[in-house]
Every structure is written in C-alpha cells, then in structure tokens.
Amino acid sequence: MTRRLLLLRHAEAASPPGGDFSEQADLGRPLRAEGRLAASRCGAWLRAHALAPDLVLCSPARRTRETLAGLEPFQPPPARPTQFCPDIYEAPPSALLERIRQTPAEARTVLMIGHNPGISALARWLDDQADVLDQGFATASLAVFHMWGSEIANDASRWDQCDEKSLTLDTFARP
C-alpha cells in the first residue's frame, strides 16, 4: 500500500475576539459556520477518495481540533490515537517536516492538520513543480502526497527519510 501524506489547512475560523491577537486568544478561535461545513466536505471528500489516515497529527488550536471533528463522521477511526502537537501551531515548514519524520513506520497514511503559512510552504517545498499550489492554500485546502517507492513490493520508504525528493503531489483539493 502506498505511503501518503495529507496536509490540511484548518477550515475558516472566527476572528479574534475583541481584536485580541494574543496567542491564547488565537489558540481559542472556533470555526465559523462556513468552516464547519467545509470540514464536513473535506471529510466526505476523503471518504470518497478512500483516504483514511492511520495517524493524525494536529495542532492543538481549537480551529484545527474542530476541523478534525468535522472530518470524523466520514472516517473510520485511525489505527493510532490522534497526536495533538504544540509544535505544529505556527510552525515553519522545517518544524512540520521534523514532526512528520517522527512518524512511526507502521503508519501508511498520515494526516497533518495545521496553519498557514507553514502548511502551504511545506506543500510547496515538498513538490516545487506542482503549479496547482500557486493558487494559494485557502482554508480547508488539502494536499495529498505520495512517497516515491512506497507502492513497490520491496518498499523501503520510511517517514524519517522524508524530504523534498521523496514526496510528490497527487491531488490538491478545496472540497
């Protein structure tokens, strides 16, 4: 079975309350009604494309957790418990990649739910030939990558070796 990485930017969130741009206020921002609908559409899209994650890596922000909750009715439970990773929140691409490299080898499909600009910059770095990523990575956008060599019988691919030469964009969607 092919090894896949799914990068999902959280769905549309409410503005900071009262113009409070502190980290605590930002972490507590909920999804707007439109965001909840978009998260549900993402879940339905993942199910329609048979992309059920074995492992979910999720920022602890409320809007990412609510995005994940919107996907769940459409997904079988992951084989491993969701990891809420503080290092995904406002992370640069290098930190996101480091988190992916820590993924257990048994996980074949990994879903990372995070924030811009890190998620879009990581997607662009992983496949800089994918012109479709030039459209921008709006809220609830999803990039599906496959790892080279993971579909062959003698699969030696591993997450700890993940880099810009090992993953290729399969699909970019805004369900």
Place of tokens 């809420």: 84
> What is residue 155's predicted lDDT score, i.e. its pLDDT?
67
Indicate if the alpha-carbon torsion angle 86, 124, 32, 90 is positive or negative: positive
> What is residue 130's predicted lDDT score, i.e. its pLDDT?
84
> What is residue 26's predicted lDDT score, i.e. its pLDDT?
93
What global pTM score does this model have?
A: 0.94
Cα separation, 172 vs 175, whole angstroms: 10
> What is residue 20's predicted lDDT score, i.e. its pLDDT?
87
Compute the mean pLDDT over every residue in the chain, rounded to the nearest whole number: 91
Place of tokens 């994918």: 130
Scanning the chain, the segments in alpha helix (DSSP H) are: 23-27, 33-48, 62-71, 93-101, 118-126
Tokens of 96: 């996101």
**Where do the domains of the chain lie?**
4-173
SS3 of residue 42 by DSSP: helix
> What is residue 93's predicted lDDT score, i.e. its pLDDT?
95
Which portions of the chain are predicted below pLDDT 50? Answer: none
> What is residue 164's predicted lDDT score, i.e. its pLDDT?
83
CA angle (80, 34, 72) in 5-degree steps: 20
Radius of gyration for the alpha carbons in the chain, expressed in angstroms and rounded = 15
Place of tokens 């503005």: 15
Q: Beta 4-9 vs 142-147: how paired, if at all?
A: antiparallel
Q: 4-173 falls under which CATH superfamily?
A: Phosphoglycerate mutase-like (3.40.50.1240)
Give the Cβ contact number of residue 96 at 10 Å. 26
